Amino acid sequence: MWIYEKKLQYPVRVSKCDPRMARYLVEQYGGADGELSAALRYLNQRYTIPDKVIGLLTDIGTEEFAHLEMIATMIYKLTKDATPEQLEVAGLGANFVSHDGAMFYNNAAGVPWTASYIGTKGDPIADLYEDIAAEEKARATYQWLIDFTDDVDLQDSLRFLREREIIHSLRFKEAVEILKVDRDQKKVY
Amino acid sequence: MYDAQWRDYMPYVSPNDPCPPIRVKWYIVPPNQFITFQPMNLPQYSLEEALRRGTLWPALYSPYPSRRSAKGGKGNG
């Protein structure tokens, strides 16, 4: 069960009319290392992971939905006042023909989201390393997005999201350490 | 001080390359790579500062300058 707070995790402000950027932000909406993939990956894996780290996957999976909401807000703000002609110039013509102004879960190249983006092997160590890799890949995607805009307000929100990936990656590494501990060898002082 | 998070390398440059070469390329190594398990009682940012930066922990903060116009993969700042 979730409790919804009707506000964003971090403010999203867009200070420049730039529907072109919306097209690239979609990578973090419905791409392989995007926020939807991340949320579903962790919230799915948590059922078959040792009890000690279930809470971590629940917490981070939930936060990923908060990030998804921020990305959606960015895309919406960048496209809501664009004419079909402007969308076409921005490279969003195919999206318009398919969905009008609505968003869809595909990556920046228009490839639809697929469940195979969610790595789940059922082996706790393998799954956590999948998660660490996913966080570092998402961090890199945010870097390339920051490189792709000169809108300082948009960059500010993207930098917040990038930093969260760094923290999540470390938390997953700590989860690996927790699972590595051999109870018989643990020193009790 | 955050410059310490950047690494550089010099890719091979051919005399036959069609474009002006970028001689030094940069990439970032965030601080999470040097911590296996976060120690207890590390210094913290104030809550407002932490919200702005995306982390409570100075030891885990990684700034990222836009490389929009940078050649070679590292922006200024």
pLDDT digits (tens, 9 = 90+) for B7-64: 998 989 989 887 888 899 888 999 999 999 999 999 999 999 999 999 999 999 999 9
A163 CB neighbours in chain B (<8 A) are: 53-55, 60-62
Q: Do B66 and A174 touch (CB under 8 A)?
A: no
Distance from the Cα of B12 to chain A's closest Cα (Å) equals: 23
> How far are the Cα atoms of A47, A50, A56, A108, A176 from residue A181, in angstroms, in the given order?
21, 12, 17, 41, 9
In this predicted structure, what is the pLDDT of residue A49?
A: 95
Whole-Å CA distances, A35 to A39, A130, A135, A164, B40: 6, 15, 10, 12, 29
Nearest CA in chain B to A168: B32
pLDDT in tens, chain A (189 residues): 999 999 999 999 999 889 999 999 999 999 999 999 999 999 999 999 999 999 999 999 999 999 999 999 999 999 999 999 999 999 999 999 999 999 999 999 999 999 999 989 999 999 999 999 999 999 999 999 999 999 999 999 999 999 999 999 999 999 999 999 877 666 666
SS3 label, residue B21: coil
Chain B residues with beta carbon closer than 8 angstroms to that of A13: none
Beta carbons of B36 and A150 less than 8 Å apart: no
Unique residue bearing structure tokens 């590390």 = B42
**CB-CB: which of A139, A150, A167 is closest to B60?**
A167
Catalytic residue status for A165: yes
**Residues of chain B above pLDDT 70, percent:** 90
Contacts of B35 in chain A (CB under 8 A): 170, 173
Distance CA A33, CA A137 (A): 6
Token digits of residue A55: 């809470």
Instruction: Please name the residues in contact with A109: beta carbons below 8 A apart, sequence gap of 6 or more.
Output: none
